[in-house]
Structure 1
Amino acid sequence: MYDINQSQMRKAFACKPIILALAALFTSNAFAEETNIEIAPVAITGNPLGVDSDELIVPVSVLNGRELSLRREGTIGETLNGIPGVTATQFGPNASRPVIRGLDAERVRIMQNGVGILDASSLSFDHAVSVDPLIIEQIDVVRGPAALLYGGSAVGGVVNAIDHRIPKEQLDGITGRAETRFGGPDNTRNGAAVVDLGNGQFAIHADVYKRKTDDLDIDGFAVSKRKSEADGTPRENRGKLVNSSSDGDGGALGASLTFDNGYAGISYSTMNNNYGTVAEEAVRIDMKSDRWDVASEFTDLGNVINRVKFRMAHTDYEHVELEDGEVGTTFKNRGVEGSFEAGHAPIQTGLGNLNGVIGYQFSNTNFEALGEEAFVPGVNSQSHALYLYEELPIGNNEKTQHKITFGGRLGHTSVDSKDNANFGIGQNNSFNPNSFALGGLYSLNEQWSLTGNLSHNERVPSYFELYANGAHIATGQFELGNSNFDVEKSNGIDAQIRWKQGKNSFSLGAYYTRFNNFIGLFDTGEIEPVENLPVAQFRAVPAVFKGLEAEGKFNVANNLDLTIRGDYVHAKEKRTNEYLPRISPLRLGAGLQYQLNRFSIRLDALHAFKQDNTAENELATDSYTNVSALVAYKLPTKLNLELFAKANNLLNDEIREHTSFLKDISPAGQRSLLIGLRGDF
């Protein structure tokens, strides 16, 4: 269960400098006494009907409250790395997207408050995600296809970062949190604070954060021994990952009118991030993203339509790549995305009451790349889709629940490139992706249940898969797209067995996904004569992804909990029977947590096995064991303050994530200690 105080779901205020952020917490005259409560694990993502995560068909992991606070890392990818089925691209410590079940980039949809983020992070591994974990209040991770509700780019899964920047509930008073951290392998110095205040009808939210890091400390050389032996790359830069520092900040203001049956609100947020790209010692990225959000939801409306929800975001994203301080290439992405959803009242059937929603989703974005390293033209992308999701509970026994879920999505998308001197006359492509799913949950008894999900998913090729034609320096390749691609089609099955009794729980799941035409970037074996780079081309090939996931939590003694987890992915191209690149190896992990009064101690170990099931021209990675420890102490004050210390990589292993494009030149940090203070009211 999650340990939170009575104000957990609506937290707020901060000041930009770290000291002022803490001062906001200490000087408030509206502190509440600490009250620890237990709440059910609730997943906002993955089910539009708002059921608990225990009742979802698809596997969902939820991080919030104290658990999220103590787990935060510098990126969304690293914050989630280690959850069963989830790894990270790890292009150095500053750019890392989640990888779910071996799928990344355009197959994992990253959202903020239920609306897709708009940046350039899927275009290139060195581009950071435009969401900072410091201000996030909850992260939902859907493992497996969620294309019905969120589009074809969710064929691998969904990561939804929730920040409560638009208050959704009535608030009479003030709530907030503040947090600061120092240390770690990158000598991080960061702080964040958020506040919400309201008078019962009108609520205001504010947050602000500041993050600064130095170059990452590593044990040994940045270049792996395997790479040096394979191509003669010298092993230099011992002890430091050169050009991996960062300096970022951001904040937001939001407000909403709240009612007994809903809310309507608006927010504005900004984010700045300047960081080194690791792959090129003289290149830094200076990123800025401004976003406006509008959202509303009303319930208990009537006997036909009983709920409506509207969400929309406009984003203005830009980053420049600085080469020795001079602007080299500029990437821009501007656009709007939103959805309107209506839920119908329960419909009585012979088996039970049918509940569901119908929704409309839309987006319109304009991407531009300007400069010497612009390997894709300007592109306008527009999409429209209708979706339906229905649940049919079966039986009236509250102790054993059964249900069937089904739904579909019909869409139309256009991806049109613009005329460009380097890319020629613009091209127009349009697609009609359609997806369908059928799932079920069967309760064997009060403790045991089975879930299963069948899905057909269609994904529209991304703009860079269609139109790329140039040198991509970050990956060291000359990339070629294919404007003749059709929609990427896949069929999958996902099943889980779950057990829960009191505080103890366990789940074991398996999945199998077959792609008719998996679009991947493959080395052609040729060298582009002008840029002198290996040529890589996007091709569509049949492929199969299959794997296992397990996790459990057990109360083994008073105040002592044991957690276990594990995952395995196996991915091959079917035509040649070759392994696909950057697939995570088998991982097994376990942890112990002891809590007594104000003290909490946690010890975790994650072992990743050697990965030698590699693609052509891909190097293997050795096994590693990452042992970490956490000690936390709640201070004996009227304020709800907690002091904590985190030790990472205690064995000082050389950790190279196989999912990372830079695994052979950018290892994870060495053994380190981080100290922090968090508090809420």
Structure 2
Amino acid sequence: MTAAGQSQSTGSVAGFVIDSETEEPVPFAYIHLEEINRTGTTDRHGYFKIHNVPEGRYSLYVHRIGYSSKTQRVEIEGGEETNLTLELSPTVLTGESIEVVADADQLGGANLEHASIKVTGAQLRRNLGTTLSETLANQPGFDQRTMGAAPARPVIRGLGDERVLILQDGERTGDVSGASPDHSVTVDPMGADEIEIARGPAALAYGSNAIGGVINVVRNQIANNKPSSINGTATVQGASVNTGISAAGRVSIPKNDFVYNVDVNGRYGDNYRSPSGTIDNSGYLTTNNAVGVSYIRPWGYSGLAASTFISNYGIPPDPEGGHANGVDVEMQKYQVESRSEFLINDHFFKMIESGISYRYYHHSEFESAEIIGTEYKQNSANINLKGTHRSLWFFNDGVVGIWGEFQDYQVLDRFNINANNYSASAFTIQEADFGPLHIEVGARFDAVLAKPDRENPDSRIGHIRQREFYSLASSATAIYNLGAGFSIGSTFLHSFRAPSIEELYSQGPHIAAYSFEIGNPDLDPERGLAKELFVRFRKSNANFELTGYHNGFKNYIYPRNTGRQNIFFPRLNDYQYESVGAEIYGLEGMMEFQLTSNLTLNSSASFTVGRRDVSDDEMESGDFDSDTTPLPMIPPFSFKTGLTYVSGPFQVGANVRHSFKQDRLAEFESVTDAYTLLGANAEYRLNSSGGYLHTFSIQANNILDETYQNHLSRLKDVFPEPGRNISLLYRLYF
């Protein structure tokens, strides 16, 4: 089709974002057309324009520091430009979001359809940490699995590792962070525009295994919209607890029909300090850089990006755990990706998106300056094709797609693993509205082939052989608008997770993780059934949400600490991968209430219980007095409450976090004592005469220098968590 022909089926949306009280332009507001993931930013005059939008109705999300986020329904007509003036209201509520629809008759399910959590702006900067998990740790239901300052991974409602899928710009990270607690995530949150968390049907577009959720770090390395002028950010951050320094810069340059993006950042941290002293070998040095180019035309866009992630970090020493001097980890990841979008005129499909990516990952664990204990190498490639179609029967616009992945995986240690993994999927996600009721449904079919380099029927762990897995995952969400700011909803998700290569074929020491890992080539797929029920209340002066959830598992796969010393490495315990029936359930809630025009109270709480079935052999051993026992690494009940005072561009707050004693223990786990942490933060925003936005932030954590342990850390019986930390951050928007 010609570009001219295409332009008749597409339009654009443009306009100004202004302050509702002063009617002054609002620069550097983040614009997001959610249904097609198109983004933009207002310029210094508050102006924005998003090109090449297919005909239809969309949710236009606008966010800016110091203002209520706003979602407005817009109608795009082919060949026309839709002009808007969007008014943002100053707010003291960090989570306030205003929903706007075209008319009262449509005030129903449509304005509730985007149920994902978004972490943006001031909230992202205030919680910005060294790792992705530290940045998200204050979200209700979130915890972090740690093993030092750098290796950390998010845990959602007690679910982590392969059950939480981490993406960057919608693509998998290609690392092995889900395989072991000493492995770092190869995503740096410093350069993020926003962080999205999705559950339910929306998660099935990315995988069948994400029963805990999908975390997508949005950096927009491949631009999908052409800005009106050069724009970018520059960031500097410092931390006292480890004499840490971080710096990042980003610039987007439009030139004719092209947009060039450049991202650079680096982090350095020395050994961190705890109340009991400095923790040796806990430092890190990391750099994450990317370049991207996009070609944007009326028919859509096509782009290419290349990125690197290079990190050296330490695992603190454990004289009793196998490495008296600690372990040094050197990690490199190199990635190339391409993404395209094609707009289609007068067809059932109105947009086709395609993507292809390749990643090389290399990870070495040095037990001494010359000796590599364990080495990981992985080549992985992904390909995907997704179509957005017009209304079908009673469904609104929906999505169908296919996805494929290849992994060439090697673990080089005393007992090598060499295997390939092939995955293929087809999925669909559909939405419908019936007055105040909004419904989302999704399904995904997966086929997985795990193929070791050679068959071995006589290995120590069993018959090593090729395994094949097939399954259908499904999900449904219903949200009902009760009016007056109240809504209720429920989500069901039937998940499928094929055993990973590590779970099937591991048979060697992992010194950095204090374990000798033993796979099980006979494992069946893990299947879960997640249920949740929630109630929400959203008004201009208050937000409230309460959620109850239950996840039941057939063949829950986990590495069980047998308590048995390995015969080859007596300082290491055997960790045997097993599958059992299990359940994880709990409650989480959050509340934000405006006490006065300047003062806000916010609170959140999370409670999780995890239990597994006890086998007949375990019962016969006499070590168990019940047919169920606690799962390992389940976070304790915790809550956080705080006050925030806002006056114009100035904001200051204080908070208290309390974690209760965790004495619901799995085998060989130890009690984690209760603790209380005091924190504070402040921020100031300045619009300079040159049209720049400056933000200055200071954050204080563990002000009283409390000694405490994280129950989800394998280091907790050896070292405490970091002590008092003062963090300073400056960010420039231009």
**Normalising TM by the smaller chain, what interval?**
0.7 to 0.9
After TM superposition, give the deviation of residue 165 of structure 1 in Å.
Answer: 0.7
Quick check: 1:675 aligned with 2:714?
Answer: no
Query: Where does residue 447 of structure 2 map in the other structure?
Result: 412
- Mapping of residues 438-517 of structure 1, within 5 Å: 438-517=476-555
Quick check: 1:314 aligned with 2:358?
Answer: yes
Q: Residue 174 of structure 1 contacts residue 197 of structure 1 at CA under 8 Å; is this kept in 2? A: yes
After TM superposition, give the deviation of residue 201 of structure 1 in Å.
Answer: 2.6
Which amino acid in structure 1 is aligned with residue 433 of structure 2? P
Q: What RMSD in Å do the two structures reach over aligned CA positions?
A: 2.8
Quick check: 1:662 aligned with 2:715?
Answer: yes
After TM superposition, give the deviation of residue 6 of structure 1 in Å.
Answer: 3.4
Taking only the aligned residue pairs, the percentage that are identical comes to: 28
Could you tell me how far apart the structure 2 residues matched to 1:332 and 1:341 are? Answer: 30
Deviations 1:542-576 (A, max 9, x none): 10111111112222211222221111111101343
Query: Where does residue 308 of structure 2 map in the other structure?
Result: 270
Query: Where does residue 562 of structure 1 map in the other structure?
Result: 601
Quick check: 1:389 aligned with 2:429?
Answer: yes
Which amino acid in structure 2 is aligned with residue 204 of structure 1? Y
Specify the SS of the correspondent of 1:326. Answer: coil
Query: Where does residue 193 of structure 2 map in the other structure?
Result: 137
After TM superposition, give the deviation of residue 627 of structure 1 in Å.
Answer: 1.7
Which amino acid in structure 2 is aligned with residue 40 of structure 1? K
Residue among 208, 213, 231 paired with 1:157: 213
Specify the SS of the correspondent of 2:282. Answer: coil
Specify the SS of the correspondent of 2:209. Answer: helix
Cα distance change of structure 1 residues 481 and 54 upon mapping to structure 2, 3 Å threshold: farther
Specify the SS of the correspondent of 2:246. Answer: strand
Deviations 1:416-467 (A, max 9, x none): 1224999699621110021112221111114111111122211101111111
Which amino acid in structure 2 is aligned with residue 277 of structure 1? I
Q: Residue 57 of structure 1 contacts residue 453 of structure 1 at CA under 8 Å; is this kept in 2? A: no
Residue among 173, 178, 192 paired with 2:248: 192
Cα distance change of structure 1 residues 33 and 160 upon mapping to structure 2, 3 Å threshold: closer
Query: Where does residue 685 of structure 2 map in the other structure?
Result: 634
Residue among 36, 40, 51 paired with 2:70: 40
Query: Where does residue 67 of structure 1 map in the other structure?
Result: 123
Query: Where does residue 363 of structure 1 map in the other structure?
Result: 405
Unpaired runs of at least 5, structure 1:
12-29, 43-50, 221-238, 396-400
Cα distance change of structure 1 residues 297 and 553 upon mapping to structure 2, 3 Å threshold: farther
Specify the SS of the correspondent of 1:160. Answer: strand
Which amino acid in structure 1 is aligned with residue 582 of structure 2? A
Deviations 1:470-491 (A, max 9, x none): 1222232222111111111111
Cα distance change of structure 1 residues 177 and 32 upon mapping to structure 2, 3 Å threshold: farther
Q: Residue 57 of structure 1 contacts residue 451 of structure 1 at CA under 8 Å; is this kept in 2? A: no
Quick check: 1:547 aligned with 2:586?
Answer: yes
Cα distance change of structure 1 residues 409 and 31 upon mapping to structure 2, 3 Å threshold: closer
Query: Where does residue 230 of structure 1 map in the other structure?
Result: none
Q: Residue 497 of structure 1 contacts residue 508 of structure 1 at CA under 8 Å; is this kept in 2? A: yes
Q: Residue 440 of structure 1 contacts residue 453 of structure 1 at CA under 8 Å; is this kept in 2? A: yes
Which amino acid in structure 2 is aligned with residue 244 of structure 1? S
Cα distance change of structure 1 residues 601 and 88 upon mapping to structure 2, 3 Å threshold: same
Query: Where does residue 180 of structure 1 map in the other structure?
Result: 236
Cα distance change of structure 1 residues 271 and 587 upon mapping to structure 2, 3 Å threshold: same
Could you tell me how far apart the structure 1 residues matched to 2:345 and 2:664 are? Answer: 55
Moved more, 30-39 or 545-554: 30-39
After TM superposition, give the deviation of residue 58 of structure 1 in Å.
Answer: 8.8
Specify the SS of the correspondent of 1:641. Answer: strand
Specify the SS of the correspondent of 1:347. Answer: coil
Could you tell me how far apart the structure 2 residues matched to 1:111 and 1:605 are? Answer: 31
Could you tell me how far apart the structure 2 residues matched to 1:547 and 1:480 are? Answer: 31
Which amino acid in structure 2 is aligned with residue 302 of structure 1? D
After TM superposition, give the deviation of residue 586 of structure 1 in Å.
Answer: 0.8
Could you tell me how far apart the structure 2 residues matched to 1:614 and 1:148 are? Answer: 33
Cα distance change of structure 1 residues 190 and 445 upon mapping to structure 2, 3 Å threshold: same
After TM superposition, give the deviation of residue 412 of structure 1 in Å.
Answer: 0.5
Q: Residue 10 of structure 1 contacts residue 175 of structure 1 at CA under 8 Å; is this kept in 2? A: no
Quick check: 1:7 aligned with 2:28?
Answer: yes
Could you tell me how far apart the structure 2 residues matched to 1:301 and 1:656 are? Answer: 59
Which amino acid in structure 1 is aligned with residue 718 of structure 2? I
Residue among 206, 224, 235 paired with 1:168: 224
Quick check: 1:431 aligned with 2:469?
Answer: yes
Deviations 1:51-109 (A, max 9, x none): 99995679632112232123211111111112111111111111100011111111111
Specify the SS of the correspondent of 2:134. Answer: helix
Quick check: 1:380 aligned with 2:431?
Answer: no
Deviations 1:298-341 (A, max 9, x none): 45643411222223321111122223322503211111123211
Q: Residue 679 of structure 2 contacts residue 702 of structure 2 at CA under 8 Å; is this kept in 1? A: yes
Which amino acid in structure 2 is aligned with residue 562 of structure 1? L
Moved more, 545-554 or 253-262: 253-262
Query: Where does residue 648 of structure 1 map in the other structure?
Result: 701
Deviations 1:114-165 (A, max 9, x none): 1111112112211111111222221112356865222233122111111111
After TM superposition, give the deviation of residue 636 of structure 1 in Å.
Answer: 6.4
Could you tell me how far apart the structure 2 residues matched to 1:339 and 1:598 are? Answer: 44
Q: Whose RCO is larger (CA < 8 A, sep 6+)?
A: 1
Query: Where does residue 302 of structure 1 map in the other structure?
Result: 346
Residue among 590, 593, 614 paired with 2:641: 590
Could you tell me how far apart the structure 2 residues matched to 1:286 and 1:10 are? Answer: 38
Which amino acid in structure 2 is aligned with residue 7 of structure 1? F
After TM superposition, give the deviation of residue 10 of structure 1 in Å.
Answer: 8.9
Which amino acid in structure 2 is aligned with residue 554 of structure 1? F
Specify the SS of the correspondent of 2:152. Answer: coil
Query: Where does residue 617 of structure 1 map in the other structure?
Result: 668
Could you tell me how far apart the structure 2 residues matched to 1:377 and 1:546 are? Answer: 35
Could you tell me how far apart the structure 1 residues matched to 2:649 and 2:157 are? Answer: 38
Could you tell me how far apart the structure 2 residues matched to 1:644 and 1:437 are? Answer: 40
Query: Where does residue 257 of structure 1 map in the other structure?
Result: 295
Count of residue pairs the alignment pairs up: 626
Specify the SS of the correspondent of 1:40. Answer: strand
Could you tell me how far apart the structure 2 residues matched to 1:59 and 1:462 are? Answer: 30
Query: Where does residue 11 of structure 2 map in the other structure?
Result: none
Could you tell me how far apart the structure 2 residues matched to 1:32 and 1:433 are? Answer: 52
Could you tell me how far apart the structure 2 residues matched to 1:527 and 1:572 are? Answer: 25
After TM superposition, give the deviation of residue 607 of structure 1 in Å.
Answer: 1.1
Cα distance change of structure 1 residues 193 and 10 upon mapping to structure 2, 3 Å threshold: farther
Cα distance change of structure 1 residues 359 and 194 upon mapping to structure 2, 3 Å threshold: same
